[in-house]
Amino acid sequence: MEHGAQKSSSVLQKKYRVLVGVTGSVAALKLPLLIAELLKITGVEVKVVTTERAKHFYNAQEIPVTLYSDEDEWQTCVIRAWDLSKPLLFCPAMNTAMWEHPITAQQVEQLKGFGYTEIPCVVKKLVCGDEGQSFCMSSDSSCTSAALILKGCTFFCRVALL
Give the active site residues.
Answer: 128
- For its own copies, give the closer residue by CB, 100 or 131: 100
Residue 156 CB burial class (10 angstroms; 0-12, 13-18, ≥19): buried
Shortest Å distance, C-beta 28 to its own copies: 15
CB-hemisphere CA count at 13 Å for 61? 0
d(CA 120, CA 134): 9
Question: To the nearest whole angstrom, how small is the minimum distance from the Cβ of residue 73 to its own copies?
Answer: 10
Specify the pairing of strand 117-118 against strand 131-134: unpaired
Closest by alpha carbon to 134, among 55, 25, 32?
A: 25
The binder of its own copies chosen from 2, 71, 83, 140 (CB under 8 A): 83
Nearer to its own copies, 38 or 90 (CB): 90
Q: Which range of residues in 33-41, 54-62, 112-120, 152-160 is near its own copies by CB under 8 A?
A: 112-120
Closest to its own copies by CB, 34 vs 70, is 70
Cα–Cα distance measured from residue 137 to residue 121, given in angstroms and rounded to the nearest whole number: 10
Residue 155 CA to residue 35 CA, distance in Å, equals: 14
Q: Would you count residue 98 as binding its own copies (CB under 8 A)?
A: yes
Tell me which of 3, 4, 13, 102 binds its own copies, using CB under 8 A.
102
Verify binding: residue 101, its own copies, rule CB under 8 A: yes
Confirm or reject binding of residue 113 to its own copies (CB under 8 A). yes
